[in-house]
Amino acid sequence: MLRQLAEAKSQAKRAAHGWQNTLKLTLDNVVKLDQLQHLINDFYAEFEFAELQINMEVFNGAWEAISQNRADIVLGATSAVPVGGDYKLKPMGKLKWVFVCAYDHPLAESEALSVEDIMKYPSISLDDTSRELPKRYHPVIGHQRRLLVPNWHTAVRCVKQGIGVGFLPDHIAAQQILTGEMVIKELDMESPASECCMVWREQNNNKLIDWMVEYLGDSEQLYRQWIQK
């Protein structure tokens, strides 16, 4: 009991000085995860008392998380801001898209793809995780049917298995392109690059947020570690 009281007093004292107990970090499913283990290790080495809560969202689901106080910081959010609030933004660079299919897919050998050719196969896309904000989806070609999946890992598997075709972030498709499991197809209609950003809650007295924002670095570092192919 005495130990619990002492810990409660210690927590109250830390909070009064701007030290919260938990930092809530949300990642849009589009970011690379190569750096995540280093981030976790460095966070827990830096703080003896704080906890890190990491969640994954897709498209406007990331913005909804921070607007509903389920996130303190978001990595990989779209720069098209769908909600208002006291947020700060830092650009993370442009995310490039490539149209891909499996190496043995019927479209793989076609030189010039028509809309009619592509419409024969489902467009594989991620399902926006937002519940209240309007959902965002990657554009489809013509009247193409969609196959909505929960994450890019599943999307890659579906493309490799020939279930469908679609636009993937170039850094996510890169390994499968390199091994020859998927091929890039050039289209007359290109998918424009997506501007990504880091978003964090503007709080005057939250040192965990301040530490993490500084740790994640400038726009160049954010692009290199989380977006770049």
| pLDDT, tens digit, 9 for 90 and up, residues 142-153 | 899 999 999 999
With respect to residue 164, please indicate whether it lies within any of the assigned structural domains: yes
- Give the chain's residues under pLDDT 70: 1-18
With respect to residue 9, please indicate whether it lies within any of the assigned structural domains: no
Domain that holds residue 168: 97-184
Number of Cβ within a 10 Å radius of residue 122 = 17
What is the reported pLDDT for 205? 81
What is the reported pLDDT for 125? 95
With respect to residue 67, please indicate whether it lies within any of the assigned structural domains: yes
CA distance between the termini of the chain: 53
Can you give the pTM of this predicted structure? Answer: 0.87
What is the reported pLDDT for 1? 54
What is the reported pLDDT for 196? 96
With respect to residue 10, please indicate whether it lies within any of the assigned structural domains: no
Look up residue 131 and give its two tokens. 């519940």
Contact status, residue 125 vs residue 144, Cβ threshold 8 Å: no
Do 90 and 135 sit in the same domain of this protein?
no
DSSP the chain: -HHHHHHHHHHHHHHHTT--SEEEEEEETTS--TTHHHHHHHHHHH-SS-EEEEEEE-THHHHHHHHTTS-SEEEEEESS--S-SSEEEEEEEEEPEEEEEETTSTTTT-SS--HHHHTTSPEEEEPP--SSSPP--PPPSTT--EEEESSHHHHHHHHHTTS-BEEEEHHHHHHHHHHTSEEE---SSPPPPEEEEEEEE--TT-HHHHHHHHHH-SHHHHHHHHT--
Separation of alpha carbons 7 and 224, rounded Å: 40
Number of Cβ within a 10 Å radius of residue 79 = 13
What is the reported pLDDT for 100? 97
Bridge-based pairing of strands 97-102 and 166-169 is antiparallel
What is the reported pLDDT for 8? 46
Here the CATH number for the domain that contains residue 161 is: 3.40.190.290
Number of Cβ within a 10 Å radius of residue 207 = 16
Do 89 and 57 sit in the same domain of this protein?
yes
What is the reported pLDDT for 11? 52
Here the CATH number for the domain that contains residue 198 is: 3.40.190.10
